[in-house]
Structure 1
Amino acid sequence: MFFSIIIPLYNRPQEIAELLDTLTKQTYTLFEVLVIEDGSVDRAEDIVRGYEGELDVHYYEKPNEGQGFARNFGFERAKGDYFIIFDSDCLIPDDYLEIVNNALANNWLDAYGGPDGAHKSFTAIQKAISYSMTSPFTTGGIRGNKKGIGQFHPRSFNMGISRQAWQKAGGFIITRLGEDIEYSIRIHSLGFKIGLIPDAIVYHKRRTDFVKFYKQLHFFGRARINIYKFFPSQLKLVHFFPAFATLGMAFTIIANIAHWPIAQLCNILLLVYILLIFFHSLIKNKSAKIAFLSIIAAFTQLIAYGLGFMQDFWKRVILKRPLKT
């Protein structure tokens, strides 16, 4: 099978260099790479063209429209039987394409997703953020998990779609704010088979500090409401958890300030939650520093997602205002 790897890029030349370097080491070599520069000011053309001797790589530029439409641009120019999309801040293990090719040969999927993890080269903050996004004690526990809640939805940092499915479903119809989940739901609604390839892991850098991580997760919270506007049935109780947690933390602060009797119970529950995160991360990462940072990452994730979710739930569901990105 011939794969077309499609990577939207916006002002991240160093990241694309690291990603392309990992692709030169793939044990399965029947693939091309399409890099779509989406209106970047800090362009990566020279970096990408520097890999032409090692990869079947193609560089394109287009006006900025967002990652969803940049991927569509790549789909329309891809030659492969199967399209794979990565975020530019991913590192790809050497056997990734071999794993995917074997998995599809043994159990065909019209679209698939894979999990993400932390590479050994990541900083302690990046590893803590990776833990938070994949932990059972945060909303990240439902991502890339065999035991996920409800229908599995591939995410665009690590997602594949067959040419046949693309030809019938078309491309992304929204360019951001949950565009990958909407696309997954639409592909599934057309009768195509979607699943997780659990060993097709990528190392996803995400954000390099907690301020950037907060902004990203606030955006994710808003995106969940955007998906609701397309598919109301896809808004589940689990998606409210970060909002409930955020309100619970606010209530705990108020209870302590007001010296309410319930404050003690709230403090105990909060401490138990903190200890669960710390020791679970400590076991997984074998680092007290990362375990401590995982607490910060988990609370950043919950609060940012919760506030973004509540913001757009109020504006777009209660007040019925149109989307403003």
Structure 2
Amino acid sequence: MTSKHTIRGGVQMDKQGSVSIIIPVRNGAEFILQTLETIAGQTYREFEVIVIDDGSTDETARIVRSFMSGDSRFRIVDNSGGAGHEHARNYGVSLARADWIAECDADDLWHEDKLRRQVQFRDSWSHAIPLVLLGTAAQLINDKGEVVGSLGTSPTTLEEYMERRARDDYFMLNHSSIFYERGTFMKVGGYKQDYIGAECTELYSRMAEYGAVLGLPERLFLYRKHLKSFMLANTITQEINFHRIRENIVRRRMGQEELTFDQFLATFKQKMSSSGMRRFNRNAKGTLYYRRGAISSVNGHLLQGLIYLAIACFYDFRKVWSGLMRKLHHTGL
């Protein structure tokens, strides 16, 4: 009989009780130390941390190695020949020793009780449908770490999960909050790299076909908003991929072959009228400029932010208005 305990690198792991934390990073020297400190400070202590250095050319590796010298739960793995963050995340999970995985981006921060609350929720789960993934709500912070807003999560109940599944909808949770069952992740094949800007949502939606995907309404991590954000450069492709995820959810349920990006784009254009495509492109551009404007503003670049927001109003006034209402709600004005 094999033991559930494994010992590697001097760290004893109880696979059933512990958590493997994956942090992919490329040139993250500006924030990586803060991220590691909030993970090391977790009230739940049974974890390992695998930092996947995805070809950094700055001081990232030195900072991580200096930090981990005092904590054997941390290790860094070189992935300089990798093909981006999704490949790095898959690689990290392949190295994990625990049955449950948590992920964190290298510029985000965790509340000290984040892991404890998720493990507690998992251990108290008693429904016939298995729990396979659990996220949380978030606070939004800027480059300086100042809180500038909040971010909810959905679904938060089993009933909401079932309703979303019934309407073939996708599951979009906050990435640096996710905590999931490794076996289900491996069963669905991990992250797919051809869903640019929507890889996480596509993964969660496939995992949701095997069990409950939920979010805790508690704000248990800090999501950093800054202009280097990957999503800014991929907004239009991301929006198309969200539609593609829905289409492929239906196709899987019907036993049909999933569509590649090019295949979906061709059918998407066929279904849309010329005016519909123009409206879609306008809305996507509105989203892009709104994001740039909002992120510029919360990081102190007010003039630049106002210019971006003015452009966003031209493309999609409703996007800017809804964002303003959320901001007013956050500040209590």
Shorter-chain TM-score category?
0.5 to 0.7
What is the aligned partner in structure 1 of residue 133 from structure 2?
111
Q: Is the 8 A contact 1:37 1:43 kept in 2?
A: no
Q: Structure 2: state its 5+ residue gaps.
A: 1-16, 251-277, 288-312
What does residue range 263-282 of structure 1 map to in structure 2 within 5 Å?
277-278=323-324, 280-282=326-328
Distance change >3 Å, CA 170–CA 278, structure 1 → 2:
closer
Q: Is the 8 A contact 1:33 1:55 kept in 2?
A: no
CA–CA separation in structure 1 for the residues paired with 2:284 and 2:187: 41
CA–CA separation in structure 2 for the residues paired with 1:117 and 1:81: 28
What is the aligned partner in structure 1 of residue 259 from structure 2?
none
1:91 matches 2:117 = no
1:232 matches 2:211 = no
Q: How many residues align?
A: 250
Equivalent residue of 1:171, what SS?
coil
Equivalent position amino acid for 1:159 in 2? I
Give % identity: 23
1:58 matches 2:81 = no
Among residues 101, 117, 120, which one is paired with 1:102 in the alignment?
120
Larger relative helix fraction: 1
Deviations 1:274-305 (A, max 9, x none): 67754652342358xxxxxxxxxxxxxxxxxx
Deviations 1:122-151 (A, max 9, x none): 467x72xx55xx4xxxxxx7x556479745
What is the aligned partner in structure 2 of residue 153 from structure 1?
172
What's the offset of the Cα at 1:101? 0.7
1:223 matches 2:244 = no
Equivalent residue of 2:102, what SS?
strand
What does residue range 196-207 of structure 1 map to in structure 2 within 5 Å?
196-199=215-218, 201-207=220-226
What's the offset of the Cα at 1:46? 2.0
Equivalent residue of 2:207, what SS?
helix
What's the offset of the Cα at 1:16? 1.2
Distance change >3 Å, CA 242–CA 35, structure 1 → 2:
farther
Equivalent position amino acid for 1:60 in 2? V
Distance change >3 Å, CA 115–CA 276, structure 1 → 2:
closer
What is the aligned partner in structure 2 of residue 40 from structure 1?
56
What does residue range 1-325 of structure 1 map to in structure 2 within 5 Å?
1-52=17-68, 53-54=70-71, 56-62=73-79, 63-107=81-125, 109-119=131-141, 122=144, 127=148, 130=149, 134=151, 143-144=153-154, 146=156, 150-174=169-193, 176-189=196-209, 191-199=210-218, 201-207=220-226, 209=227, 212=228, 216-229=231-244, 231-232=246-247, 245=283, 277-278=323-324, 280-285=326-331
Distance change >3 Å, CA 242–CA 87, structure 1 → 2:
farther
CA–CA separation in structure 1 for the residues paired with 2:40 and 2:174: 24
What is the aligned partner in structure 2 of residue 291 from structure 1?
none
Equivalent position amino acid for 2:65 in 1? R
Equivalent residue of 1:204, what SS?
strand
Equivalent position amino acid for 2:190 in 1? G
CA–CA separation in structure 1 for the residues paired with 2:187 and 2:327: 42
Q: TM-score, normalised by structure 1?
A: 0.64
Q: Structure 1: state its 5+ residue gaps.
A: 135-140, 250-265, 288-325
Equivalent residue of 2:31, what SS?
helix
CA–CA separation in structure 2 for the residues paired with 1:247 and 1:14: 29
Q: Is the 8 A contact 1:178 1:223 kept in 2?
A: yes
Q: Is the 8 A contact 2:171 2:201 kept in 1?
A: no
Larger relative strand fraction: 2
Distance change >3 Å, CA 248–CA 222, structure 1 → 2:
closer
Q: Is the 8 A contact 1:158 1:202 kept in 2?
A: yes
CA–CA separation in structure 2 for the residues paired with 1:35 and 1:84: 12
CA–CA separation in structure 2 for the residues paired with 1:21 and 1:248: 37
